[in-house]
């Protein structure tokens, strides 16, 4: 059975892509056929092949399944802003059916699919439609990435509460250090270990050019490999 996970974060630019790469690398080391999925990506650069998003390209490099760019990122949006604004500017609407079809297609060729969200849990994809609405529809188990910095305790607890109120399984969290000097960072991690009531899957230190670094050793996949780490209703 294919395992699916949705990666959300306490904010933007806090390390979701780094954590997603770490999960993919660790899964590959555990002999899974692993692929990343970044269905909606803002801030794409125009290339001869069309708009391309750096994070989506990084996920492709961290996967061991041969996929096309459009399979990983069906909605590449040019403006570096919220997806509902960027898609409106381009005259596009983000269709949840396309997101689901892409997820199902990747699940048919891989047995470990890691979906990286955009921004935080309630990022809008349309006027009255949030990213979380699609995750709820697919019943995906959620992994929370916490950027360890001032304010992260409140942001993490609010996000965890929202995920659980939606009836989803918050299966674990990953602490990522987004800067070289995070004041009292260890205290923040300890406080969250005491309060989040879910598994700490790993702590990723600040690493220069982390998206190109080996990251699998920072995570423990044992929790995710258990049957309850998979949403049985996903993609059915």
**Tokens representing residue 45 in the block:** 């650069």
Fold of 3-229: Rossmann fold (3.40.50)
Cα separation, 177 vs 172, whole angstroms: 17
Residues contacting residue 126 through CB under 8 Å, at least 6 positions apart? 84, 87, 93, 94
pLDDT of residue 230: 39
Cα separation, 90 vs 96, whole angstroms: 17
Residues contacting residue 114 through CB under 8 Å, at least 6 positions apart? 5, 7, 20, 23, 24, 27, 34, 35, 36, 37, 59
Cα R_g (the chain), whole angstroms: 16
pLDDT of residue 232: 41
Catalytic residue, chosen from 38, 92, 149, 226, is 38
CB 131 within 8 A of CB 121: yes
Q: What is the pLDDT of residues 175-188, one digit of tens each?
A: 999 988 778 999 99
Q: Is 38 a catalytic residue?
A: yes
Provide the 10 A C-beta neighbour count for residue 1. Answer: 9
pLDDT of residue 118: 96
What average pLDDT values come out for the chain (236 residues) when binned by 10 residues? Answer: 96 95 97 98 96 97 97 97 96 97 98 97 95 98 97 97 98 94 90 97 94 93 75 43
- Flag whether 17 is marked binding: yes
pLDDT of residue 227: 73
- Flag whether 15 is marked binding: yes
Q: What is the pLDDT of residues 138-159, one digit of tens each?
A: 999 999 999 999 999 999 999 9
pTM: 0.94
- Flag whether 205 is marked binding: yes
CB 204 within 8 A of CB 15: yes
CA angle 179, 185, 189 (to 5 degrees): 120
Q: What are the sequence ranges of the domains in the chain?
A: 3-229
């Amino acid at each position: 059975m294919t395992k699916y996970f949705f990666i959300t974060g306490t904010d933007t630019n806090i390390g979701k892509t780094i954590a997603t790469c770490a999960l993919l690398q660790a899964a590959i080391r555990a002999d899974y056929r692993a692929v990343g999925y970044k269905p909606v990506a803002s801030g794409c650069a125009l290339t001869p092949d069309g708009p391309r998003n750096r994070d989506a390209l990084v996920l492709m490099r961290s996967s061991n399944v041969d996929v096309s760019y459009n399979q990983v990122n069906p909605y590449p949006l040019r403006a570096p802003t919220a997806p509902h604004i960027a898609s409106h500017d381009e005259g596009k609407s983000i269709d949840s059916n396309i997101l689901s079809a892409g997820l199902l297609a990747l699940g048919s060729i891989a047995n470990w699919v890691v979906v990286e969200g955009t921004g935080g849990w309630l990022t809008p994809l349309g006027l009255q439609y949030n990213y979380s609405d699609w995750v709820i529809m697919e019943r995906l188990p959620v992994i929370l990435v916490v950027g360890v910095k001032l304010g992260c305790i409140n942001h993490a607890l609010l996000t965890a509460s929202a995920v659980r109120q939606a009836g989803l399984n918050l299966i674990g969290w990953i602490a990522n250090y987004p800067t070289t000097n995070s004041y009292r960072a260890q205290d923040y991690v300890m406080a969250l270990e005491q309060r989040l009531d879910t598994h700490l899957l790993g702590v990723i230190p600040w690493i220069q050019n982390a998206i190109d670094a080996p990251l699998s050793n920072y995570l423990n996949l044992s929790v995710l490999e258990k049957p309850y780490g998979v949403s049985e209703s996903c993609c059915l």
